[in-house]
Amino acid sequence: DLKPENILVDMSDPRLPTKIIDFGFAIQSAQKLHVFCGTPAYMSPEICAKDKYSGQASDVWAIGIMFFTMLFGHQPFKAKTEEELFRKIIKAHFQFPKIQREPYLNEQNSLNLQEFSTKTSNESRQLGPTSSQSPNEAKMKWKFENFGAIENVDEVKAMISQMLHPVEDDRITADGILTKYRGWLEQ
């Protein structure tokens, strides 16, 4: 269940690896899956449509949603009901916002995780609220003023667009992302 709430960063030692938690349904399989699971806002179109799907392609989709949200301050698909959300995700029609505000990135184009993280009892930090917190309680800051901190805005948008491609077989793979966008990801 890839989403910001399941990514932990230990801010006391930046050399320590980022950790992903909540492997409630984790499987390594080349076979298509047919399990309806996940957090609705991060589900891929094929999961929302209750079709068989590739777990890896659905993970790429979820990471694309996280990148979009971290860079633009809101999710690409908004709806009042889960049914409406699923319809929008299945269509996969979204627009990048007009950039008039600064992304929450430092001069090295790295996400300033500490500013929108919540502290947990073991001195780790989560990217999102815990299950008992609302986003307001977690004090996530999603304010942007000028996209100038990112040198290649078009490259970032292209990467996210490929990650959020509605057709699973046409979606960029994790290996493709690392090969094509390694330079931006390492900044």
Q: SS3 of 118, please?
A: strand
End-to-end CA distance of the chain: 26
Closest CA to 44 of 97, 79, 8, 85: 85
Residue 1: active-site member: yes
Q: Phi then psi for 7, rounded to 5 degrees?
A: -120, 120
The amino acid that residue 95 corresponds to is Q
> Which candidate, 58, 55, 61, places its Cα nearest to that of 33?
55
Write the CA distances from 181 to 22, 156, 157, integer angstroms. 27, 8, 11
From the candidates 1, 13, 154, 170, give the one annotated as an active-site residue: 1
How many Cα atoms occupy the beta-carbon half-sphere of 98 within 13 Å?
A: 1
For the record, the structure tokens of 133 come out as: 């917190």
Which residues are annotated as catalytic?
1
